[in-house]
Amino acid sequence: MPLGVFDSGLGGLTVLKEIHRVLPAENLIYFGDTARVPYGNKSSKTIIRYSREIAEFLIARDVKAIVVACNTASSYALDALRSMTDIPVLGVIDPAVRSLTQKAQRKSTAGLIATKSTIASRAYEAALERHHGDQFLVSQACPLLVPLIEEGYANSAAADLILKDYLQPMVDRGVEYLLLGCTHYPLIAQAILRLYPHLKLIDSAEETAAELRNLLAERGAMRSGTNGSVDLYVSDMTDSMRALRDLFFAANVDRFETAEVGEQ
Amino acid sequence: MPLGVFDSGLGGLTVLKEIHRVLPAENLIYFGDTARVPYGNKSSKTIIRYSREIAEFLIARDVKAIVVACNTASSYALDALRSMTDIPVLGVIDPAVRSLTQKAQRKSTAGLIATKSTIASRAYEAALERHHGDQFLVSQACPLLVPLIEEGYANSAAADLILKDYLQPMVDRGVEYLLLGCTHYPLIAQAILRLYPHLKLIDSAEETAAELRNLLAERGAMRSGTNGSVDLYVSDMTDSMRALRDLFFAANVDRFETAEVGEQ
C-alpha cells in the first residue's frame, strides 16, 4: 500500500523528497492542489473543505498513511481528517515542535516563520503545549517568501532586504532556534544563514520524514526493497507548475498528471 | 438593473473604484473569487470554468452588463462568457489597447507588464491586431508585483530592485508607453514613475470605466441620480481580505459578505 502526501501546491514536494530519501522503498502518491493554491491566506473553513476533498482522493487510492505536507492545512485540518479515517494522519507541525523541545534550551525564546494563516491558527503554540515545551515562541508571518522562492529570488538583494524586515526583530529578541513553518522555506534557508549565521533552523520536512519512518517501523508497515514509485497529481497544470516541480523535486517521477478532487 | 464586476480577488476593486467615480448613480455588484485567487498562474481551462461560475452568479442578480475586471480572465474567458448571455461583457484589455493605438506613435515599441497567464495568452497582441495598431509590444511577466503590493511593499527598496529587473530591459528597448496589464498595478504606478519618469502609463481601470460609460450612454441604459449602491461579495473572507478591501477601495460599501459560486 502506498503513502499519501498532499499540499496546497508544490512546496510540499520538499517533504516528499525527504520521505523518498529516508524511505526509498515506499510507493508515494502526492497531490498538489494547484488549482486553488495558495491556502496560506484563506479561511479555516475553506482550508478544511479543500483538505477533506484531497484526503478522499488519497483514501480512494488505498494509502496506508496520509502526510499533510502543508503547514496551513496541518494547522487547521488534522482533526477533520482524522475523523474521516482510521489510517494515521501526520502533520508537519508536531514533528518540528518535538524537535525544538528536545534541542532548545529550557525557557529560551524560539522563532517561527510561516504563512499568515498558520501564524493566526496558533497551531505551533498548541503543539508546544502538547509536548510540554516551556520555550517561548515569537512568530512572524512572511507572506513574501513563497513568491520570492517560486520566482527564483531566494538568493537576491531584494530577498535579503525582506528577510531582514522579517527576521531582525526576532534576532534582536535573542532567538537561536528558528522553526521553518512552511514547506517552501528550506529553499531560502541558505539566505537566512548567510544573513544570520548563528541561527539554528528546524526543518519540518526532515522531522516529519523521521517520524513517519518510526511510525511505519512500529506498525511493521514498511515496504521492503529499494525502488518505490513516485506519482504526482495536481489539480491544475501549467508551465509554471512544471518549473516548480523541477525546483522542489528534481528526481525522476513515474507519473505527473492532472486529477480532480471534490466538486471544485 | 445593476452592473456586475468580477475579479479573481480584490485587485479588480481598482476598476470598480473608477467605475464608481465616473458612473456614481449605478448600482454595482462586485464578486472577488478570494477562495481561489490568484488566477494569474492557472491554466486557461481552470480560468474559464471559474469565470463561467461567477458570471452565472452575476446573471442571476439581473445585471445589465458584466465587466471582467481581471486581465487574466479577460485574456481567456471573454468568448466563453459572451456565449452564455446576451448582455454586454466587457474586458479590461481592449479599452487599454485602444487607448494605446490612439496615443502611441505609429510603429513605436510599447511595453506590457502583466501576470504570467496574461502574457502567455498573447491577448494583448490579438487586441492590438483587432484595433489595427501597428505598435510593437514587448511584454514582461511580473509575478512578484502583486504580492509586493498586497503586502504594502509597493514603495520599498526591495520593490525598486525587482521593478528594475522587470522594466530596465524594456526601457533599454526604447519603450515610452507602458500598459499596466493587471488590476493591482495602479498601486505601484508611483514607484514605476519615480524610477522611470519618462514612461507614460496606460491604466486599464480608467479606460474600461470610460468605455462602459459610452456603452451605457449609447444604449440609454444609464441610471439617473447620484448615489448608487456598492455590494461586494467574496468567495472567502479573512482579515487579509478585509485589509485588501481597504487598500483597493477605501470608500463606503453597502455590503461586504461571503457568497458561494459554482460547485466549489
pLDDT digits (tens, 9 = 90+) for A2-30: 999 999 999 999 999 999 999 999 999 99
Condensed to tens digits (0 to 9), the pLDDT of residues B13-29 reads: 999 999 999 999 999 99
**Same domain for B187 and B104:** yes
Q: Where are the beta strands (DSSP E) in chain B?
A: 3-7, 28-32, 65-68, 89-90, 109-114, 136-141, 177-181, 200-203, 230-234, 255-258
Structure confidence at residue A150 (pLDDT): 94
Q: Which residues of B touch A42 (CB under 8 A)?
A: 34-35, 236, 238
C-alpha cell at B111: 511595453
Report the residue from A120, A158, A241 with minimal CB separation from B162.
Answer: A158
Nearest to B151 among A45, A143, A240 (CB): A143
Which of A164, A179, A204 lies at the terminal end of a domain, its last residue?
A204
Q: Do B236 and A144 touch (CB under 8 A)?
A: no
pLDDT digits over A143-153, tens only? 999 999 999 99
In a domain, A217, yes or no: yes
Give the closest residue to B72 by CA, choosing from B207, B235, B181.
Answer: B181
Would you say the C-alpha torsion A116, A117, A123, A125 has a positive or negative sign?
positive
User: What kind and span of H or E run contains A47?
Assistant: helix A44-59
- Is A237 part of the contact surface with chain B (CB cutoff 8 Å)? yes
Residues A174 and A238 both lie in one domain:
no
- What's the whole-model pTM score? 0.92
Cβ atoms of A36 and A10 closer than 8 Å: no
- In total, chain A counts a number of residues equal to 264
Q: What angle do CA B114, B119, B121 make, to 5 degrees?
A: 135
Nearest residue of B to residue A36, measured between CA atoms: B36
* CB < 8 Å to B155, chain A: none
A124/A221 same-domain check = no
Residue B170 lies in a domain: yes
Has residue B263 been placed in a domain?
A: no
Nearest CA in chain B to A148: B144
Query: pLDDT tens across B149-162, in order?
Result: 999 999 999 999 99
**What pLDDT shows up at residue B40?**
82
- Alpha carbons within 13 A on the beta-carbon side of B29: 18
Long-range contacts of A188-196 (CB under 8 A, 24+ apart): A188/A145, A188/A148, A188/A149, A188/A154, A188/A159, A188/A163, A190/A154, A190/A155, A191/A154, A191/A155, A191/A159, A191/A160, A191/A163, A192/A163, A192/A167, A195/A160, A195/A163, A195/A164, A195/A167, A196/A167, A196/A171
Residue from A8, A33, A36, A166 whose CB has the most chain B CBs within 10 Å, to mutate: A36
Q: Tell me, what amino acid is at B119?
A: I
Q: Are A13 and A69 in the same domain?
A: yes
Q: Is B192 helix (H, G, I), strand (E, B) or coil?
A: helix
Say whether B236 and A151 touch across the interface (CB within 8 A). no
The whole domain housing B17 covers 3-91+206-258
Strands (E) in A70-184, as ranges, are 89-90, 109-114, 136-141, 177-181
pLDDT tens digits, B178-191 = 999 999 999 999 99
C-alpha span between B223 and A191 (Å, rounded): 56
Kindly state whether residue B51 falls inside one of the protein's structural domains. yes
- Please judge whether B162 and A157 are an interchain contact, meaning their C-beta atoms are less than 8 angstroms apart: no
Q: Are residues A162 and A62 in the same domain?
A: no
Asked if residue B98 and residue B191 are part of one domain, the reply reads yes
**Residue A264 pLDDT > 70:** no
Q: Which residue of B lies nearest to A146 if distances are taken between CA atoms? A: B147
A237: nearest CA in chain B? B43
Residues of B in contact with A150 (CB under 8 A): 143
Whether residues B103 and B63 fall in one domain = no
Please indicate, yes or no, whether residues A78 and A124 belong to a single structural domain of this protein. no
Split into its structural domains, chain A has a count of 2
Q: B45: which chain A residues are within 8 Å (Cβ-Cβ)?
A: 236
Helix (H) or strand (E) holding A30: strand A28-32
- Chain A segment 107-146 residues within 8 A of B by beta carbon are 116-117, 120, 143-144
Distance in angstroms (rounded) separating the CA atoms of residues A92 and A95:
6
Identify whether residues A112 and A12 lie together within a single domain. no
Are residue B99 and residue B192 in the same domain, yes or no? yes
Of the partner residues B43, B159, B238, the one whose CB lies closest to the CB of residue A43: B238
Residue B4 pairs with which residues in a beta bridge?
A: B29, B66
CA atoms within 13 A on the CB side of B167: 27
CA distance B242 to chain A (A): 12
Interface residue B229 vs chain A (CB under 8 A): no
Find the residue in A nearest to B149 (Cα): A144
Q: Tell me whether 0.85 is exceeded by the ipTM.
A: yes
Give A-chain residues touching B240 at CB under 8 angstroms: 41, 116
Residue A79 forms part of a structural domain: yes
| Same domain membership, residue A195 and residue A133 | yes
A97 occurs within a structural domain: yes
Calculate the alpha carbon distances from A161 to A58, A79, A157, A167, B160 in Å.
40, 38, 6, 10, 11
User: Annotated catalytic, A142?
Assistant: no
Of A204, A219, A240, which residue is a domain's last?
A204
| B36 with A35: Cβ contact below 8 A | yes
| Sign, Cα dihedral of B90, B81, B51, A244 | negative
Is A264 inside any structural domain?
Answer: no
**Assigned C-alpha cell, A204:** 519540518
Report B:42-81 residues touching A (Cβ under 8 A). Answer: 42-43, 45-46, 49
Q: Provide the CATH number for the domain around residue B116.
A: 3.40.50.1860
pLDDT at residue B93 tops 60: yes
- Contact A41/B240, CB-based, under 8 Å? yes
Alpha helix ranges (H) inside B60-122: 71-76, 78-82, 93-103, 116-121
User: Final residue of a domain: which of B204, B225, B244?
Assistant: B204
The string of pLDDT tens digits covering residues B42-89 is: 899 999 999 999 999 999 999 999 999 999 999 999 999 999 999 999
Same domain, residue pair A110 and A212: no
In the prediction, which pLDDT does A252 show? 87
How many angstroms separate the CA of residue A201 from the nearest CA in chain B? 24
Partner residue facing A236 (CB), from B42, B120, B148: B42
Q: Per the domain annotation, does B264 fall within a domain?
A: no
Of A43, A161, A162, the CB nearest to B236: A43
Nearest to B157 among A161, A236, A239 (CB): A161
